[in-house]
Amino acid sequence: MKFYFDGCSWTWGGGLSENGYSLEDRWSTLVCKHFGAEEFNISSSGATNETIMRHFFTGQTINERQNRQKWKVPDMTFDLKDFDFFFIQFTMHIRREFYDSRASAWRRYKYHDYELPGARWAKRHIEFFQHYSTEIHTKYQDQVFEEINHTAITSHLKCLNKPYFLGHLGQAFGRCEYDYDFRNTPIDLMPCCHPSKEGNKQIAKTVIDIVEKRLL
């Protein structure tokens, strides 16, 4: 079996290496070990819901720009039909992705990131972010985007007759059904607010219970 994982740092294993652990301790790897499955994990720190959707529907991770090289997903292509189970972890609505034509790369932005100390953004990007954050973005827009993303992925997986696990990190607007709420389910966290080794075990146990029922 081969399992597909995509999400943000909570599925990538954010903070584990920096706190003396290993990516072998992340919940996705623990789930794969339990089922004897091959792990295909293209999650990355700071990923947006647009990033997750782009990966899924284009079948590739190409031309992605990351602030830290170790966070970058390698360029690759893949076919959804090659996977036996899908794990999709939607992330916070405050993140957006856009294509920087001058850099020929996809870039990620979280509202007000440009105000952080040490932030390195071109003037044209800062002006765009300020306009988007204050003049364009609304909660209603977040709700519509969530419903589009949720419906598109679940409908496509049903057409492919592929089982899936769907989780979210952040606000969910009620009309979308998820298997797991990463943010509001009590688990052990590290100071960086990511799941610890024990927290990843807790997530894995819940996920395994759900997957076992769907693989019957």
| 151-166 residue pLDDT tens | 999 999 999 999 999 9
pLDDT score at 95? 81
Domain range spanning residue 101?
Answer: 2-109+143-214
Q: Position 46: which residue type?
A: G
**Within a domain: 9:** yes
Q: Which tokens belong to 173? A: 């607007």
**Within a domain: 58:** yes
Sequential pLDDT tens for the chain (216 residues): 999 999 999 999 988 988 889 999 999 999 999 999 999 999 988 889 999 999 999 999 987 765 555 556 788 999 999 999 999 999 988 787 888 787 778 877 766 555 554 555 566 666 777 777 777 777 888 888 889 999 999 999 999 999 999 999 876 776 889 999 998 889 999 998 899 999 999 999 999 999 999 987
CA distance 27 to 33: 10
CA distance 106 to 66: 9
Sheet with 38-41: strands ordered across: 38-41, 2-6, 85-90, 164-168, 180-181
Asked if 146 and 173 count as a contact pair (C-beta separation under 8 A), the reply is yes
180 phi and psi angles, rounded to 5 deg: -155, 135
Nearby residues of 190 by Cβ (< 8 Å), 6 or more positions away: 15, 19, 196, 199
Asked if 2 and 37 count as a contact pair (C-beta separation under 8 A), the reply is yes
**Within a domain: 129:** no
pLDDT score at 179? 95
- Looking up tokens 């966070």 gives 71
**Within a domain: 90:** yes
> What residues are paired with 109 via a beta bridge?
96
**Within a domain: 127:** no
Q: Which tokens belong to 26? A: 């992340």
| 3-state DSSP assignment of residue 192 | coil
CA distance 200 to 190: 11
pLDDT score at 116? 52
pLDDT score at 118? 52
**Within a domain: 119:** no
**Within a domain: 135:** no
**Tell me, what CATH number does 18's domain have?**
3.40.50.1110
Asked if 121 and 103 count as a contact pair (C-beta separation under 8 A), the reply is no
CA distance 145 to 54: 14
CA distance 27 to 13: 8
| 3-state DSSP assignment of residue 132 | helix
pLDDT score at 101? 81
| Domains held by the chain: number | 1
**Within a domain: 133:** no
pLDDT score at 173? 72
